[in-house]
Amino acid sequence: MQIHKYDTVIVGAGGAGMRAAIESTKRSRTAVLTKLYPTRSHTGAAQGGMAAALANVEEDNWEWHTFDTIKGGDYLVDQDAAEILAKEAIDSVLDLEKMGLPFNRTPEGRIDQRRFGGHSRNHGEAPVRRSCYASDRTGHMILQTLYQNCVKEGVEFFNEFYVLDLLLQEDPETGLKKSAGVVAYELATGEIHVFQAKAIIFASGGTGKFFKVTSNAHTLTGDGQAAAWRRGLPLEDMEFFQFHPTGIWRMGILLTEGARGEGGILRNKDGERFMEKYAPVMKDLASRDVVSRSIYTEIREGRGCGPEGDHVYLDLTHLPPEQLDAKLPDITEFARTYLGIEPYTDPIPIQPTAHYAMGGIPTNVEGEVLADNTTVVPGLYAAGEVACVSVHGANRLGTNSLLDINVFGRRSGIAAAEYSAKNDFVELPENPAQMVVDQVERLRNSTGTERVATIRLELQECMDANVMVFRTEQTIKTAVDKIAELRKRYLNVSIQDKGKRFNTDLLEAIELGNLLDLAEVMATSALARKESRGGHYREDYPNRDDVNFMRHTMAYREVADDGTESIRLDYKPVVQTRYQPMERKY
C-alpha cells in the first residue's frame, strides 16, 4: 500500500473534475484521480451545447434562463443556485472560448447559438437561441479543451486509478465528520493507494448504467455516490432520473436535442407531429420529461412505429443535407453506422433513453458536501452529475449539464483549494485501506456461483421495466423487491480473473455493487414520493403535490447494531427566492 499526500484531490476527470483541476492546480498541490484516461470521460459524449444568455443572435438575458431552469425542474430547483448557474453561464462560456474552444460562429464572428428544449424568451413566450455549440460535439470540444488546459497548467493525473472509498474522521465530541482522504485501486498493478488530502472534490459522474437502454457509458456506475453513501453521507433526490427523448431505438445512443433545435420533428406511425398535441407552444422543444412521456403515450396508445410499435421517428428529412452536414454530422453518422439509415431521406427510429441523474451527493452553492440538511462536511466537495446542488430539480434542461460542470466545477475547484490553503491534514483513520482490501480480497477469493453479468442484466431489465418514464406503487415495489433479491445474490458473486494486472473483471464486480446500492436508494426514494414532478411520473399520483412534496428527498443509510442495513428518508426544503410555483405548460 502506498500513501500519497496532496493539498487537493479530485476524483474524476470529466468536465467538472478538469474544470476544478484548472483552478485548484493554480492554487494548491492537486492530484486528479480518474478510472479512465481524462479524454475518455463521458462529458465527451454530450452533443448539443451549453446554455448561456449571451444574446449573440437574439434578445436574451440570464433572468429568463433562471426562470426556464426553475420551471424545467418543475419547481424543485433551489432558486438561489439556479440564479448563480444562469448568471455565471455567460463568463463560463467566454472562459472556454478564451481557453480555445472552437465554437461555431455567427456571420459576425461571435459564438453562434441555437434553440434547445425548454429554453424560452420572456418566461415561455417562444423558443430562444441560447445554446452555445460546437457542431454536435460540444461535449467533446469541452472535454478536449479542458484537458488541453490541464496539460498547459501541468495538472497531475493518476490515470486508471479507481477510487473505492472515502475516508472520513468523526469528531469524538461533536460527532461531526471531516474528510481525510480517499482510497484508490490502481488498475495496472492491483496496488492499493491511500491519498491523504486536505480537500477532496468528487466529480465522478453519473450512474445511468443501472438502466439497460441508456445513453451512458459502461463506466458510469455511480462510484462516487456509492462511496459517500457507504460512509453515511446522504443522497438527495435520487428518484429523479432523466430519460432523454431521442435515443437510438433499442441501443440508447444519444441523438442530440439539437436535432430538434435545428428543426427536426418527432412523428408517430401515422406521420403525425404528435408533440403539437402535448406542448402547443414549444412543441418538439418542450422539456425532456414532457417529450419522453408523450412518446410513450403515443406508443402505449398504439401509434408507435415498426412491427412491435415500440418506437417513434425523429424526422430530419425536410432539413437541407448541407445543414445536417454542418450542424449535426455526428448524430447522422450514428444513424448510418448503427442503423444503416440515411437521415437525408429516412426518419430515424428512436425511443427515450436513460440519460442523467438529477440527484446525487447534496452540496451547497460552493460545492461543499452536506452531511444533513445544513451541516457541511469540512474539506469535502462535489460537482457535476455526481452532485445535487440542486440546479436541475426534478428535470434538467438540455445544455444545462455542460453548464453545471463548468460553473460548479470552477466554484468547487476554487473553494477546495482555498480550504486546503487554510487548513491542515486530517489524520487518517487506522488501517485506512482496510475496507477496500477486504472488498477486493473477498471478490478475488470468492467461490460463489453467481455471475456479475447475470445480476447486472437482471438489474437493468428490472429498472427499465419498473422505474423508467412511467411508475406506479406496484412497479416500484416490484423493483424494490427485485433489487433486494439481487443484493443478496451479489454476496455470492465470484469472478474468473484472480490476477492483479488490469483486472477489469474485478472492477466490474465492484461497479455492480455500486449500482445495486444506488438502485435501491433510487427505488426507495421513488416509492415514497407520491406525486408526479418532472422526471418522476407516478401514474397513481399523476399530479404535482406542492403541499406535501415541494421538498427534496434526503436518503440516509442506516446500519443497525446487528449489521442490518436500511434506508431512512428525510426531506429538505426547497430554496425559493422570486418564483412562485405555477402550473407547468409548454
Partner 1 sequence: MATPTMDKVGTDPSASPASPYITVTFRIRRFNPEVSDEAQWQDFQIEIDPKERVLDALHKIKWDVDGTLTFRRSCAHGICGSDAMRINGKNRLACKTLIKDINPEKPITVEAIKGLTVLKDLVVDMDPFFQAYRDVMPFLITKGNEPTRERLQSAEDRERFDDTTKCILCAACTSSCPVFWNDGQYFGPAAIVNAHRFIFDSRDEGGEQRLEILNDRDGVWRCRTTFNCTDACPRGIEVTKAIQEVKRALITRRF
Catalytic residue among 19, 137, 288, 411: 288
Q: Is 250 a catalytic residue?
A: no
* 495 binds partner 1 per the rule CB under 8 A: yes
Taking CB under 8 A as the criterion, the residue among 172, 501, 542, 562 binding partner 1 is 501
* 134 binds partner 1 per the rule CB under 8 A: yes
Rg (CA), the chain: 23
Q: Which of 87, 15, 16 has the alpha carbon at shortest distance from 54?
A: 87
* 313 binds partner 1 per the rule CB under 8 A: yes
- Beta strand pairing status for 156-159 and 50-51? unpaired
> Which CB, 496 or 580, lies closer to partner 1?
496
Which among 335-343, 387-395, 520-528, 541-549 is the span making contact with partner 1, rule CB under 8 A?
A: 335-343
* 502 binds partner 1 per the rule CB under 8 A: yes
Taking CB under 8 A as the criterion, the residue among 126, 421, 453, 465 binding partner 1 is 453
* 505 binds partner 1 per the rule CB under 8 A: yes
* 58 binds partner 1 per the rule CB under 8 A: no
B/e letters for 228-247, b = 16+ CB within 10 Å, e = fewer, are bbbbebbbbbbbbbbbbbbb
Q: Which of 563, 577, 465 has the alpha carbon at shortest distance from 523?
A: 465
Q: Which of residues 512-571 bind partner 1 (CB under 8 A)?
A: none
* 337 binds partner 1 per the rule CB under 8 A: yes
Q: Which of residues 213-272 bind partner 1 (CB under 8 A)?
A: 217-219, 249, 251, 253, 267, 269-271
What amino acid is encoded at 338 in this protein?
Answer: Y
Taking CB under 8 A as the criterion, the residue among 2, 58, 59, 102 binding partner 1 is 102
Distance CA 301, CA 574 (A): 36
Binding mask 108-127 for partner 1 (x = CB under 8 A): xxxx----------------
Q: Which of 422, 412, 421 has the alpha carbon at shortest distance from 387?
A: 412
> Which CB, 456 or 533, lies closer to partner 1?
456
* 322 binds partner 1 per the rule CB under 8 A: no
DSSP assignment, residue 423? -
Cell of 90: 455567460
Residues placed in the known binding site for substrate: 244, 256, 355, 396
Q: Residue written as cell 447522422?
A: 332
**Least separation, in Å, of the C-beta of 120 and partner 1?**
24
Q: Which of residues 185-214 bind partner 1 (CB under 8 A)?
A: 188
Taking CB under 8 A as the criterion, the residue among 30, 144, 460, 525 binding partner 1 is 144
> Which CB, 132 or 377, lies closer to partner 1?
132
> Could you tell me which residues come within 8 angstroms of residue 301 by beta carbon, excluding any fewer than 6 positions away?
none
Q: Residue written as cell 487548513?
A: 423
Which among 94-102, 174-182, 227-235, 564-572 is the span making contact with partner 1, rule CB under 8 A?
A: 94-102
Dihedrals phi, psi of 448, to nearest 5 degrees: -60, 165
Cell of 494: 465470484
**Least separation, in Å, of the C-beta of 252 and partner 1?**
9
Distance CA 9, CA 17 (A): 10
> Which element (helix H / strand E) includes 181?
strand 177-186
Task: Determine the angle formed by the axes of helices 400-422 and 138-153, rounding to 10 degrees.
Answer: 20
> Which element (helix H / strand E) includes 98?
helix 79-99
Distance CA 202, CA 382 (A): 4
* 311 binds partner 1 per the rule CB under 8 A: yes
> Which CB, 145 or 412, lies closer to partner 1?
145
> Which CB, 94 or 376, lies closer to partner 1?
94
DSSP assignment, residue 574? P
Q: Residue written as cell 425532456?
A: 288
* 100 binds partner 1 per the rule CB under 8 A: yes
**Least separation, in Å, of the C-beta of 337 and partner 1?**
6
**Least separation, in Å, of the C-beta of 468 and partner 1?**
20
- Cα distances from 449 to residues 95, 454, 483, 515, in angstroms, run 53, 11, 18, 20
Taking CB under 8 A as the criterion, the residue among 280, 320, 499, 573 binding partner 1 is 499
* 339 binds partner 1 per the rule CB under 8 A: yes
Which among 139-147, 237-245, 375-383, 544-552 is the span making contact with partner 1, rule CB under 8 A?
A: 139-147
Sign of CA dihedral 12, 13, 14, 20: positive
Taking CB under 8 A as the criterion, the residue among 338, 441, 573, 578 binding partner 1 is 338
> Which CB, 175 or 307, lies closer to partner 1?
307
What amino acid is encoded at 439 in this protein?
Answer: Q
The SS3 call for residue 360 is: strand
* 301 binds partner 1 per the rule CB under 8 A: no
* 504 binds partner 1 per the rule CB under 8 A: yes
Q: Residue written as cell 469528531?
A: 171
* 367 binds partner 1 per the rule CB under 8 A: no
**Least separation, in Å, of the C-beta of 217 and partner 1?**
4
- Residue 177's CB: how many other CB atoms inside 10 A? 23
Taking CB under 8 A as the criterion, the residue among 334, 381, 419, 537 binding partner 1 is 334
* 42 binds partner 1 per the rule CB under 8 A: yes
CA angle 537, 77, 11 (to 5 degrees): 100
Size of the site for partner 1 (CB under 8 A): 77
> Which CB, 144 or 246, lies closer to partner 1?
144
* 442 binds partner 1 per the rule CB under 8 A: no
Q: Which of residues 12-41 bind partner 1 (CB under 8 A)?
A: 36-37, 39-41
* 317 binds partner 1 per the rule CB under 8 A: yes
* 422 binds partner 1 per the rule CB under 8 A: no
Report the half-sphere exposure of 236 (CA within 13 A, side-chain side): 32
**Least separation, in Å, of the C-beta of 274 and partner 1?**
12
Give me the numbers of helices (H) and strands (E) for the chain, helices first please. Answer: 16, 20
**Least separation, in Å, of the C-beta of 452 and partner 1?**
7
> Could you tell me which residues come within 8 angstroms of residue 576 by beta carbon, excluding any fewer than 6 positions away?
79
- Cα distances from 158 to residues 13, 223, 284, 447, 572, in angstroms, run 10, 17, 43, 32, 36
Give the residue numbers marked as catalytic: 288
